Structure 1
Amino acid sequence: MQRICVIGGSRYFGKLLVQRLQAGGHQVTVVNRGSAQPPAGVEHLVIDRNDEAALLAGLGTRAFDVVVDQVCYTPVQAAIAARVFRGRTRRYVMTSTIEVYDPATAALTVVPPSTLVPEETVTSATWQVSADLPWHDEAYLEAHYAEGKRQAEAVFTQAAGFEFASVRSAHVLGGGAQEFTGRLAHYTERIARGEEITVHAEALPTVFIHYEELAHLLLWAATAADFTGPINASSDGLLDVHGLSAAVAAQTGRQPLYRTVARGETASPFSFDRHYAMSNARAKRLGFVFSRTTDWLPGAVAEAITASARRTV
């Protein structure tokens, strides 16, 4: 049994992670702002993680084997957590994102077209941190989501004080009504209604992961693995917007109607005009076994269709 603190953990794969940690016999503490209650038997501390004094007071003398941070978006949040948990935990795992590799949001090392991007493309140990930017402004944070994640990883990596690992997640699908982004529902609903899907002239593929698989990987990273630094978390197999639409069409019985957007115009989710599909080779070398996207995608589509039907009743 390990003592695990989960910051966030109130919805989607974070909620599932808490359930699996508890089922594994671990002593779990959830820290969030009280938006949702964790399962019975899980300690719940209602604290705003942005308030350093409140976080210190709320934690009291508690110490943990591992902290899993599901909701760290800025270097300011990371700096607070690094100070508060230094000496309280031996290991810290942060949920990060494929967006750190988006070449539209930073000057990154150029990789050859169609190359699966490795973790060293974004090196947290040397990434510049600018904590004085307006990270508390919601509009600024939304516009700079990828950079916020890059800098948060950098703060933890450079602060030391505990083992630090980041899990850079691919685009997460599955869960039906739990999939709060609505991106898969965009496809199931529009295709079912015969409405157009907007795509780039050359829509490039990306990588995905099922929410249950991501929860399983986070469980592994927190309780079984001992790596530090980043790992990419993605199911095997590339998929572009046309392949995703075809998977939806197979279950709706309606063929997708496409419209090609002009350069610079916004397209439907997962239609990309730039390449940043990740390599999951490091996680595999460390012992994690991934599924194939094609194995779980039909089930995820079926869940999204069912959830959409319930919303319209």
Structure 2
Amino acid sequence: MKVLFIGGTGLISQAVSKLAMEEGVELYLFNRGNRDGLVPKGARTIAGDIRDPKAAAAALEGYEFDVVVDWIAFTPEHIHSDLELFRGRTKQFIFISSASAYQKPLAHYIITEHATPLENPYWQYSRDKIACEQLLMKEYEASGFPVTIVRPSFTYGDTMIPASMNSWSHPWSLVERMRQGKPIIVHGDGMSLWTMTHNSDFAKGFVGLLGNPAAIGEAYHITSDEVLTWNQIYEAIGAAAGVQPNLVHISSDFLITYDPELEGGLLGDKAVSAVFDNSKIKKLVPEFTATVPFAEGIKRTVNWFEAHPERCGEDEAWNEQMDRIIAAHASGMKPE
């Protein structure tokens, strides 16, 4: 099976790339070549920028693939370019959407592909993903374009300390803050339900979709079946770091009033309980079972960071922001 990944070296896609190679897939990665150290041995690379349609078309001229996966399409404009590039040149096109596209707030806390609507008034990122899905399904219905949609939820691996409040650029900041005994913000009362998925587990479900004709015209989420409260998640991160975290609970409304940019990630995602019914992916890919509990997966992550001290930098601006929010909340002052 000849497969093209657009991207292929990100947090989720690198785990899929690795497993696909182990399964004997003839894998090509199309990207700008900025992360060659994450390309699995034996995969072939095609240098190019998918955001430059003319140059991408020239770089991909003469190629055809059994499967094309776009890991880095975020807007309808990106999908229009993909349709121009790959219409008639692949037997399956997989779009990476997001589980944050599901209804917010949920009418029912258990999420299924067939019953949970796609609607997110809080996050433009999610609305763009929904628009991409709608465009692709319209093309499938009109012309038979062979699309499959995959919706990951919060998926982590070696290089991410997953939390609702952390520095994106320096994720070790959260662990260091815990080890220093500083207060750690948890949104709400910490009792809403959430699902963390290790990238190696996600990969098992995803690889089973590659080249599978029954997946055409369908959408799937791929997550763990383990359900945790946010308090349990932060406590597991602390345990992996060898400390008992000092948790401070602050309402999502207060956090968003203090920093409006948090609205999408909280009300549009992590503040809403998310429990996924994975029956659909399991029916199509019976070998898919998530086997990495969060307590084990986060220990692997912390160990990886400690083995790579160059990645253990702190985000001082983020730390200062956490301190300001906590101080404002403790004083009972309304944020400006």
Q: TM-score, normalised by structure 2?
A: 0.75
Equivalent in the alignment of 1:12 = 11
Alpha carbons 1:96, 1:167 under 8 Å: kept: yes
Q: 2: CA distance between counterparts of 1:261 and 1:92?
A: 42
Could you tell me which amino acid in structure 1 is paired with residue 46 of structure 2? L
Could you tell me which amino acid in structure 2 is paired with residue 278 of structure 1? F
User: Which residues of structure 2 form unaligned runs of 5+?
Assistant: 257-261, 314-336
How far residue 222 of structure 1 moved from its aligned partner, in angstroms, is 1.0
User: Which residues of structure 1 form unaligned runs of 5+?
Assistant: 105-109, 128-142
SS in 1 for 2:203: helix
What is the 5 A alignment of 1:135-214? 144-160=124-140, 161-176=144-159, 181=168, 185=172, 187-203=174-190, 204-214=192-202
Q: 1: CA distance between counterparts of 2:221 and 2:51?
A: 27
Alpha carbons 2:178, 2:238 under 8 Å: kept: yes
Alpha carbons 1:7, 1:71 under 8 Å: kept: yes
Q: 1: CA distance between counterparts of 2:115 and 2:55?
A: 36
Alpha carbons 2:181, 2:246 under 8 Å: kept: yes
Q: 1: CA distance between counterparts of 2:42 and 2:240?
A: 40
Could you tell me which amino acid in structure 2 is paired with residue 57 of structure 1? A
Could you tell me which amino acid in structure 2 is paired with residue 301 of structure 1? I
Alpha carbons 2:202, 2:290 under 8 Å: kept: no
- In the alignment, which of 215, 219, 226 is matched to residue 230 of structure 1? 219
State the identity as a percent.
Answer: 20
Q: TM-score, normalised by structure 1?
A: 0.80
Report the more deviating stretch, 231-240 or 52-61.
52-61
Equivalent in the alignment of 2:203 = 215
Is the counterpart of residue 118 in structure 1 residue 112 in structure 2? yes
Q: 1: CA distance between counterparts of 2:33 and 2:178?
A: 37
Q: 1: CA distance between counterparts of 2:91 and 2:297?
A: 36
Equivalent in the alignment of 1:131 = none
What is the 5 A alignment of 1:270-281? 272-281=270-279
Equivalent in the alignment of 1:3 = 2
How far residue 183 of structure 1 moved from its aligned partner, in angstroms, is 8.8
Q: 1: CA distance between counterparts of 2:116 and 2:130?
A: 8
Could you tell me which amino acid in structure 2 is paired with residue 42 of structure 1? A
CA RMSD of superposed structures (Å): 3.1
Alpha carbons 1:176, 1:303 under 8 Å: kept: no
Equivalent in the alignment of 2:330 = none
Is the counterpart of residue 239 in structure 1 residue 228 in structure 2? yes
SS in 1 for 2:110: coil
Q: Please list the CA deviations of residues 233-267 of structure 1 after superposition, one character each: whole Å capped at 9, or x if unmatched.
A: 11112112111122233344422212221451338
SS in 1 for 2:66: strand
Equivalent in the alignment of 1:140 = none
How far residue 72 of structure 1 moved from its aligned partner, in angstroms, is 1.0
Q: 2: CA distance between counterparts of 1:272 and 1:177?
A: 16
Q: CA 1:178/1:223 → structure 2, altered by over 3 Å: closer, same or farther?
A: farther
Q: 1: CA distance between counterparts of 2:80 and 2:56?
A: 13
SS in 2 for 1:90: coil
Q: CA 1:214/1:3 → structure 2, altered by over 3 Å: closer, same or farther?
A: same
Alpha carbons 2:48, 2:55 under 8 Å: kept: yes
Q: Please list the CA deviations of residues 150-172 of structure 1 after superposition, one character each: whole Å capped at 9, or x if unmatched.
A: 11122221112432111111211
Q: CA 1:184/1:101 → structure 2, altered by over 3 Å: closer, same or farther?
A: farther
Report the more deviating stretch, 56-65 or 269-278.
269-278
Q: Please list the CA deviations of residues 280-313 of structure 1 after superposition, one character each: whole Å capped at 9, or x if unmatched.
A: 2211222343225xx4323322233234432459
Q: 1: CA distance between counterparts of 2:17 and 2:290?
A: 22
Alpha carbons 1:4, 1:27 under 8 Å: kept: yes
SS in 1 for 2:197: strand
Q: Please list the CA deviations of residues 95-135 of structure 1 after superposition, one character each: whole Å capped at 9, or x if unmatched.
A: 2222112516xxxxx513xx2111135668xx9xxxxxxxx
SS in 2 for 1:221: coil
Alpha carbons 1:189, 1:308 under 8 Å: kept: no
Q: CA 1:178/1:100 → structure 2, altered by over 3 Å: closer, same or farther?
A: same
How far residue 277 of structure 1 moved from its aligned partner, in angstroms, is 3.3
Equivalent in the alignment of 1:87 = 88
Q: CA 1:263/1:162 → structure 2, altered by over 3 Å: closer, same or farther?
A: closer
Alpha carbons 1:156, 1:164 under 8 Å: kept: yes
The alignment of Structure 1 onto Structure 2 pairs a total of residues equal to 287
How far residue 230 of structure 1 moved from its aligned partner, in angstroms, is 1.0
